[in-house]
Amino acid sequence: MRRFFIAFVPVVVALATGCTAEAEGPSESKQVIEGKVPVSSTGTRAWVGVSGAGRTHVIAHALGKKGDATTKVDVDVRPDGSFHLEVQKGARYVVEIADGSQHVALMTFKDGDGAYTNALPVAVSSDGASGTIQVGALTIVGKTASPEKNPWLQLDAASLAAKWSLDEDFFLSVDGAVRDAEAAAREAVKEAEQAAREAQNAAEAARDAAEEARKAAEAARGGI
């Protein structure tokens, strides 16, 4: 099961070598994707586990076969955390959040079957009926960026019906790693499940602590 994303100044990237080349600007052949990454009240990065030493940017990678040259669009995040991507139609894209040359997370969402994916298909014949794909605020947990609004539900009929090669599932990450989009989606499922377990454990611990505090307070009153 697979799907993916894109943006602003296209670049050719060899999965094996990482070489790049610029392409033309926005046109009717592009699909716009907009969203917002979390920032603090002072405009700094608000996710955990990232040094924040580099530039915050969002990259839309076109998926391809392992070792093939693919394209990407790389844009800086604005001070308020928002980003604007314009991707070339006719590919599946994955959206990567990066801090300098450090991989932060991949945007992950559910497809029409309810399965987790991070591949967003944009067909050549897409009529852009939905206009800009708005993913809203991204919530970053581990290596997963969950969108406020599911981009899959905003795809047009042409993109949903398009057929894609099953072995075109790779991209060159900002950190130089060749990543498998399907494997990344599976990892996102594990992270989501782990986060749910940790949240449940934290809630139970908080309830236990509150109960212990209540008992201690009652004991203290009884001893007066």
Residue 189 lies in a domain: yes
Write out pLDDT tens, residues 104-154.
889 999 998 988 899 999 887 765 545 789 999 999 888 889 999 999 999
Residue 145 lies in a domain: yes
- Read off the CATH number of the domain in which 177 is found: 2.60.40.10
Judge whether 95 and 85 are in contact, CB under 8 Å: yes
Q: How many domains, the chain?
A: 1
CA distance 115 to 13: 28
Residue 4 lies in a domain: no
The domain containing residue 158 runs over which residues?
A: 10-197
Q: Does the pLDDT value for residue 3 go beyond 80?
A: no
Residue 224 lies in a domain: no
Residue 210 lies in a domain: no
Q: Supply the pTM of this predicted model.
A: 0.71
Residue 223 lies in a domain: no
CA distance 4 to 61: 8
Cβ-Cβ contacts under 8 Å for 29 (sequence gap 6 or more): 88, 89
Judge whether 183 and 171 are in contact, CB under 8 Å: no
Q: Does the pLDDT value for residue 4 go beyond 60?
A: no
Residue 209 lies in a domain: no
